[in-house]
Amino acid sequence: MMAKLLVTQVKSAIGGKQNQRDTLRSLGLKRIGQTVERPDDDVTRGMVRAVAHLVTVEEVK
């Protein structure tokens, strides 16, 4: 079974770069406090790294 990541938006993307806003939308995040479950793979890790200052991440088994 593959591990999952819970990604929660904790800061606003307003004033951020367009690619960061696009990355949040690609992760499925639209508002502060929203949490999405994503597969723990290289693509997701890369997207999280690009917006690490706007989100928190938890691993789920």
pTM of the model as a whole = 0.92
For residue 4, list its beta bridge partners.
39, 60
The amino acid that residue 13 corresponds to is A
Q: Determine the Cα–Cα distance for residues 61 and 24; give it in Å rounded to an integer.
A: 23
Alpha carbon 9 to its chain centroid, in Å, reads 7
Domain CATH number, residue 39: 3.30.1390.20
Count of domains observed in the chain: 1
Is the pLDDT at 2 greater than 90? The verdict is no
- Domain hosting 48: range is 4-60
pLDDT digit string (tens) for 13-34? 999 999 999 999 999 999 999 9
CB 23 within 8 A of CB 50: yes
